[in-house]
Every structure is written in C-alpha cells, then in structure tokens.
C-alpha cells in the first residue's frame, strides 16, 4: 500500500515527474501547460517543492509506492478567506485511480489544514469532469453553486466544492 506524506526537498525530481505526467494526462485540470512546466528549470521547481515541505501557508503531499510517486495533492491558504484551505493539483496516476488513495491524499491535506487552524477546504473542478465531481462528492465535498471562469481556457467554467477539513 502507498505511503502518503508531506513532500521533502529531496523529492523534487520525483514530484516534477508526476507533475509532468498530470499535465500530460489532464491538461485542463491544472493551471499551467505541460510545455511551461517542462521548460521550468529544475532549480526553480526544487525551490518550489522545498517551500511546500514546511510551514503553514502551502503544502504538498505525495503518495509513494516503492520509491515512485503515484499521487499528489496540495493545499494553500485561501487568499482573503481566513480558515479556508484551497485544495489544488490533485492527481493519481491512472493505475491507482479507484484504489482509495484519493481519500488518503485529501485527508493528508485536511489534517494539515486543521493543524494550521483552517477548518474548511475548498476546490474547483472543471464543469463536465463528472468523474472528479463524483470522487470529491464521495469524500464529502458539496457543490456550492459558485461557478468561475477556468483560469487558462476562457470558454470553460469550474464549479466550486467545499467541505470541512
């Protein structure tokens, strides 16, 4: 069974590999393109991972099997919303979808969020991504009715979901 834990600076290359995989697999679900991520210097990416390895503002968690990262989920303080963590960059490599690992990753973000005094989680899902919507509903997220423009594809909308951490 995979281990779920907060990232460490030494994870940078393996987390970068799953980042590139997630962008190739689900390009509409994330805020950057595969080309932009691939072009980013490794040192810049490593600094980003190091920043998410400690502290209360942003965190990333990985699921790891035999040294390979097979899942990722992040959390960050919601700007202007005290007590709220935005869940972001949630991804499972296809072989692990439906395994229950999504719940473990989201719970890792929730545990961290509660520990830093943010008792609520929020995330956004592209309208029409019914698989993700159903998965998050199973984890207790509820559609708030809020719709926002997709950050990189103006013709798409995202729906906001919320739950207690």
pLDDT digits (tens, 9 = 90+) for 92-138: 999 999 899 999 999 999 999 999 999 999 999 999 999 999 999 99
Predicted TM-score (pTM) of this structure: 0.93
Which pLDDT score is estimated for 26?
Answer: 87
Express each pLDDT in 27-71 by its tens digit.
878 878 888 899 999 999 999 999 999 999 999 999 999 989 999
- Dihedral sign computed on CA atoms, order 153, 158, 162, 165: negative
Which pLDDT score is estimated for 63?
Answer: 97
Rounded Cα distance, 86 and 39, in Å: 26
CB contact set of 61 (below 8 Å; sequence gap of 6+): 4, 5, 6, 7, 72, 73, 74, 75, 105, 108, 109, 112
Which pLDDT score is estimated for 32?
Answer: 85
Which pLDDT score is estimated for 30?
Answer: 83
């Amino acid at each position: 069974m995979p281990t779920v834990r907060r990232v460490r600076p030494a994870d940078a290359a393996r987390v970068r590999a799953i980042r590139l995989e997630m962008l190739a697999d689900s390009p509409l679900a994330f805020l950057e393109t595969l080309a932009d991520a691939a072009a980013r210097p490794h040192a810049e990416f490593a600094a980003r991972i190091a920043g998410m390895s400690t502290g209360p503002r942003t965190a990333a968690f990985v699921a790891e099997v035999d040294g390979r990262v097979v899942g990722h989920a992040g959390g960050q303080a919601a700007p202007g919303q005290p007590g709220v963590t935005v869940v972001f960059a949630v991804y499972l490599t296809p072989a692990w979808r439906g395994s229950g690992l999504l719940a473990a990753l989201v719970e890792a973000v929730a545990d961290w969020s509660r520990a830093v005094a943010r008792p609520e989680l929020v995330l956004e899902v592209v309208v029409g991504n019914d698989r993700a919507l159903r998965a998050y509903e199973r984890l207790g997220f509820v559609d708030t009715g809020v719709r926002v423009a997709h950050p990189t594809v103006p013709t798409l909308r995202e729906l906001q979901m919320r739950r207690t951490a």
